Amino acid sequence: MDGSSRGNPGAVGIGGVLRDNSGKVLRMFSEFVGILSSNSAELLAIHRSDSLCANSTFFYGKDLDFVSDSKVVDPWINSEGLGSLNHVQLIYDIWVCLNSLRNGWVIFNTRSSNSFADQLVKKGSGHEGNVLFRDFQ
């Protein structure tokens, strides 16, 4: 998943791709979420990803890695830093979703690993329409 703002603050798009172990796309999303900061964009992308999974019994009890490229936001989610007071409620909501999944984790990976999510984010921040695709029950 990824979040991006065109300016800081600016037009924010979020997007993400959920794949199984073989790389098959199970779900993807892209959406415009408003005029916000870049850190808000990253947090909203994480929240959208984990809440989509938490609201589906399909993922319950499965190991899920939520991969993010934010060196700033990832430590906030993983309790390695205090985070921003402006984002406390959103960080708490992310923790609740991750805990409901039982095996959900946010991990850091470099930007080069999420080119597909990056394309979805650009569509969202450019107001090109919201997309939600799912291939499972």
CA 103 to chain centre: 16
Q: Identify the CATH number of the domain in which residue 117 sits.
A: 3.30.420.10
Residue 63: what pLDDT? 83
Q: pTM for the complete prediction?
A: 0.80
Domain tally for the chain? 1
- Strand ranges, E, within 20-124: 25-36, 64-68, 104-108
State whether residue 129 is helix, strand or coil. Answer: coil
Confidence bin at 136 (pLDDT 50/70/90): very low
The model's pLDDT over 20-59, given as tens digits with 9 standing for 90+, comes to 888 888 888 888 888 999 899 989 999 998 888 888 888 8
Q: What Rg value do the Cα atoms of the chain yield, rounded? A: 14
Q: Residue 136 in contact with residue 27, Cβ under 8 Å?
A: yes
Residue 113 has pLDDT above 60, yes or no: no
The model's pLDDT over 71-102, given as tens digits with 9 standing for 90+, comes to 888 888 887 666 678 888 899 898 888 888 87
- Specify which residues 18 forms β-bridges with: 27
Q: Residue 16 in contact with residue 120, Cβ under 8 Å?
A: yes
User: Containing H/E element for 4?
Assistant: strand 2-7
Its domain, for residue 68, covers 2-134
